[in-house]
Structure 1
Amino acid sequence: MPAEKYYAGFFYTNKSGMAKLTVYTFKQINYDMKKYDLIIIGAGSGGLSVGGFMVKLGFKVLMISKTAHEIGGDCLNDGCVPSKALIHAAAVVHNAREVSKFGLELSPEVDIKKVMQYIFEGQEVIRAHENKDYFEKEGFDIAIGEAKFTAVNQVSVANTNYKAKKIVLATGSRPKKLTAPGIEKVTYYDNRSIFKINELPKKLLILGAGPIGIEMAQAFQRLGSEVTVVQHSHAILSHDDKELTLILQKRLEEAGIKILFDTTVSHFDSANTAILKTKEGIEMTVALDAIFVSIGRQLNIEGLDLEKANIKVEKEHIVVNHYLQTTNKNVLLCGDIAGNLQFSHAAEQHGRLILNNLISPLKKKLNNKHMSWVTFTDPELATFGLNEKQLKEQNITFEKVVQDFANDDRAIVDDYRYGKLILYISKGFWFQKQRILGGCMIAPKAGELIQELILANVSGMSINTIAGKVYPYPVATRINQKAVGQLKMKLITDNTKKLIQLAFKMFS
């Protein structure tokens, strides 16, 4: 506790020519300054990845979280973990209904409370090693409360001051709120509230066709909701290849999900009625029981008193360089707050970069050319590396390989012949080392199927390694070899054939 000191002041005042002694007393709290090697504000994926390693190296680390429950961050509490648990539960329900093809019939009703209980139980398993007591046993100091900068290398939490050589801001982001007339009338969900529902909405209106919106659309449709998605632009998943997103869009629509493009919410007439407006100004009425809002993310930078640490903010984003340093070089950004790609694994990438730059004289810059992401629908849509637009902008020559799954044996027996793989490979001749520059895939478990392609992309591995690999038959990843083989065959020109034929005559 801070020590309390009392002071007295003696003052003479004149009143009506008379001298008078006035005594003032006041109390000053002397705050003790606690010193650390590293302070981390935020206890999500990014902050934990940095802090955990620094603690293991023997550094004195303070981690600050607004509440004890928020330890684990958005990923554990409101993002990746509960959403993937919900997707899994919805997939189980969907697959169970699919058995009707083989003569089995099940009740169509889903108990949403049991689904939510399943999500909660999964979170609690992970929370067993992502909580205040656990991290304190691991060697962290934990402060609970709102952090505010008091100087360039100091912060205050709950009337206690802390100082460190380096400070990492990892406060994350939150869902943007929808503002529309009548919004107060409707049942409103976003990713912070949707995993606590007690009743399945019969009609669910989803605003936003990004990864979160599309994943939730399919999950709730499979659980039994009638789902309508409203998207302000002309496509779903705008950061992915349109050739593949169209395949996913078609499958979602065939399942019964209605998607309205170039459309926004005008207002809400009642708790069960939304008035939508198209780009052309045409209005339409949509019935609903609830809305799920997924229109973007807002960075958590309010209340930090960043100006006291000489940290500059422009257009609601903290100014940051390629080393993830703010305008105060001793304060670094990690995760969503860096204003970059908002993925948990991007936060982990930031964490590795920060750790390197904290302890190594060889400083590294942030480089996203190998970044990958997955939209966890069924089928999954996975993307990695550089896309066609980026390659052209950087004047990188490449070969585009498009491999469909129509005649792939595993796709035939597992019923996903609609699948497709696109690869961008550096140009070269038959014996040259060609590398995978990027690509994308749509297929069940595409996020797993592309992992060897991501490894090849990151490591600069030759496509000959994949071409020469012996795959057990009929694993699904054989499609990767088929795509590479397709390119290798394109490299066989008439002259190459003549050389091979000559070699056959001479050496066989």
Structure 2
Amino acid sequence: MDRVNKVIREIEPHDSRERYEGLGVDVILGFGELQDRHTVKIGNETITGKYIVIATGSEPAVPPIHGLNEVNYQTNRTIFHLKELPGHLIVLGSGPIGIELGQGFRHLGSQVTIINRSPGLFKKDDPEVGPLMEKQLKDDGIELLLGIVYREVRQDSDVISVEIEHEGKGRIITGDQLLVATGRLPATKNLGLDKVGVRVDEKGYIVTDKKQKTSVKNIYACGDVTGHYQFTHMAGYQAGIIIRNIIFKLCAKVDYSAVPWTTYTKPEVAHVGYTEPMARKTGTYKSSLKVDLCAIDRAKAEDDRVGFLKLNLGKKGRIIGATLVGEKAGEMIPAITIAIKQKLTAGIFMNMIFSYPTESEILKSASLEAAKQSLKPWMKKVIRAVLLR
């Protein structure tokens, strides 16, 4: 945990009060509440402005499990405050946060049990990802209990017990730390949104248009509080749209056609654009092609053999989506993001020179595979005849 806390301390200054004040920003710490469309109250202080941006983020969603509120549980916000490594970490939830932290603590040496109501993993990714990653997590020594029914959570001194029903049988899991990672809720409580007429959806997320503008024309919102792709990089992207609209009057609009996301497991899971099932529903889907990571020399050298690249192509051969699984998946997905944004075909990677050996050569391998698939039978006959002369 010393190493973990050291890294956190190195990163913390990026969001510190001192950093923003050094950039010329006035920083007031406290809970803000909208008084009208131009006024925010923080404690006894009132601030007015031409524009207001709401970027309050989200908070952990705590499920209504009997006894849970009486237990000293952890969330993604608190778990890194632990001074000692858990002996047995029980994780409620098998989404990205639960899996990332569960596997992370397993690699640090904790016994880990991940439990969740829903069966299966990585449901928003390509269908091939879930079974592959389930095997990987089990190979890491993580116990996965999926498709369960929660009965009760209780704590006796330092021992936390979670009572569940799994595969028709009752069971009690005991551990010394409990991580609740069962989703997120928008942080909009007591903001005064109703007072000024800022509209929210049925889940409480602030509704915005393509300019990130709310139902009140001078109030904007970005980040998790809007419910659109709850990633740090998405919050930054949306903030950039707001800046262009408010300050530079550029009429900038969001474009979600190529949003990359990565789950930071080992191996990493990344995708951008359409997954194969999504692509098939668009009416523009042509084909998918897959290259296993174990076919790449760098992956062989580093024994990084668990993973693959799948490219989903539209009718004109353009890349409309991709899934990458591998140790460096998050580092490679931007190249495909650019290809999707520029409406390029898989052939774009064929003429690129890749450093050897690198795992990014998987992009070139996929490009060559796409070229093979595009050859009609008569083309193959002509090529064969020329080569046999």
**TM-score under structure 1 length normalisation:** 0.71
* Number of the residue aligned with 1:439: 322
Which of 347, 350, 361 is the matching residue for 1:467? 350
* Number of the residue aligned with 2:104: 219
Which of 367, 376, 380 is the matching residue for 1:497? 380
Using a 3 Å threshold, how does the CA distance of structure 1 residues 403 and 501 change in structure 2: closer, same or farther? closer
Q: How many equivalent residue pairs?
A: 385
Structure 2 distance, partners of 1:269, 1:477, is 48
The reply to whether residue 387 of structure 1 matches residue 272 of structure 2 is no
Query: What is the 5 A alignment of 1:184-263?
Result: 186-263=71-148
Identity of aligned residues (%): 29
Task: Give the aligned residue type for 1:385.
Answer: G
Deviation at 1:449, TM superposition (A): 2.5
Task: Give the aligned residue type for 1:146.
Answer: F
For the 8 Å contact 1:244–1:441, the answer to whether it is kept is: no
Secondary structure at the counterpart of residue 141 of structure 1: coil
Query: What is the 5 A alignment of 1:44-83?
Result: none
Query: What is the 5 A alignment of 1:21-420?
Result: 115=1, 117-183=2-68, 186-271=71-156, 272=159, 273-278=161-166, 282-315=169-202, 316-420=204-308
Structure 1 distance, partners of 2:16, 2:51, is 23
Structure 2 distance, partners of 1:460, 1:398, is 15
Task: Give the aligned residue type for 2:178.
Answer: I
Task: Give the aligned residue type for 1:482.
Answer: S
For the 8 Å contact 2:291–2:310, the answer to whether it is kept is: yes
For the 8 Å contact 1:230–1:264, the answer to whether it is kept is: no
Structure 1 stretch 266-275 or stretch 484-493: which is displaced more? Answer: 266-275
Which of 325, 331, 340 is the matching residue for 1:448? 331
Deviation at 1:328, TM superposition (A): 0.5
For the 8 Å contact 2:126–2:277, the answer to whether it is kept is: no
Deviations 1:381-439 (A, max 9, x none): 111112223323321223201111233222222212232111112234xxxxx422111
Structure 1 distance, partners of 2:144, 2:170, is 16
Using a 3 Å threshold, how does the CA distance of structure 1 residues 313 and 455 change in structure 2: closer, same or farther? closer
For the 8 Å contact 1:384–1:440, the answer to whether it is kept is: yes
For the 8 Å contact 2:117–2:150, the answer to whether it is kept is: no
Secondary structure at the counterpart of residue 185 of structure 2: strand
Structure 2: tracts of 5 or more residues without a match: none
Structure 2 distance, partners of 1:311, 1:405, is 48
Task: Give the aligned residue type for 1:328.
Answer: V
Structure 1 distance, partners of 2:350, 2:239, is 34
Secondary structure at the counterpart of residue 46 of structure 2: strand
Deviations 1:258-306 (A, max 9, x none): 111111321025433221024x654222122221110011111011111
Using a 3 Å threshold, how does the CA distance of structure 1 residues 498 and 362 change in structure 2: closer, same or farther? farther
> Based on CA coordinates, which of the two structures has the bigger radius of gyration?
1
For the 8 Å contact 1:383–1:441, the answer to whether it is kept is: yes
Structure 2 distance, partners of 1:199, 1:126, is 21
Structure 2 distance, partners of 1:256, 1:189, is 22
The reply to whether residue 477 of structure 1 matches residue 360 of structure 2 is yes
Structure 1 distance, partners of 2:266, 2:213, is 39
Deviation at 1:474, TM superposition (A): 1.6
Secondary structure at the counterpart of residue 165 of structure 1: coil
For the 8 Å contact 1:153–1:164, the answer to whether it is kept is: yes
Structure 2 distance, partners of 1:129, 1:242, is 37
Structure 1 distance, partners of 2:253, 2:274, is 17
For the 8 Å contact 1:187–1:289, the answer to whether it is kept is: no
CA RMSD of aligned residues (A): 2.3
Using a 3 Å threshold, how does the CA distance of structure 1 residues 488 and 223 change in structure 2: closer, same or farther? same
Deviations 1:149-169 (A, max 9, x none): 111111112222222121110
Structure 2 distance, partners of 1:255, 1:501, is 47
Deviations 1:34-67 (A, max 9, x none): xxxxxxxxxxxxxxxxxxxxxxxxxxxxxxxxxx
Deviations 1:453-497 (A, max 9, x none): 222222223433310112222211111110111110111222223
Deviation at 1:440, TM superposition (A): 0.7
Using a 3 Å threshold, how does the CA distance of structure 1 residues 123 and 287 change in structure 2: closer, same or farther? closer
For the 8 Å contact 2:38–2:49, the answer to whether it is kept is: yes
Task: Give the aligned residue type for 1:197.
Answer: L
Task: Give the aligned residue type for 2:195.
Answer: K
**TM-score under structure 2 length normalisation:** 0.92
Structure 1: tracts of 5 or more residues without a match: 1-114, 429-433
Structure 2 distance, partners of 1:270, 1:125, is 34
Task: Give the aligned residue type for 1:418.
Answer: V
* Number of the residue aligned with 1:86: none
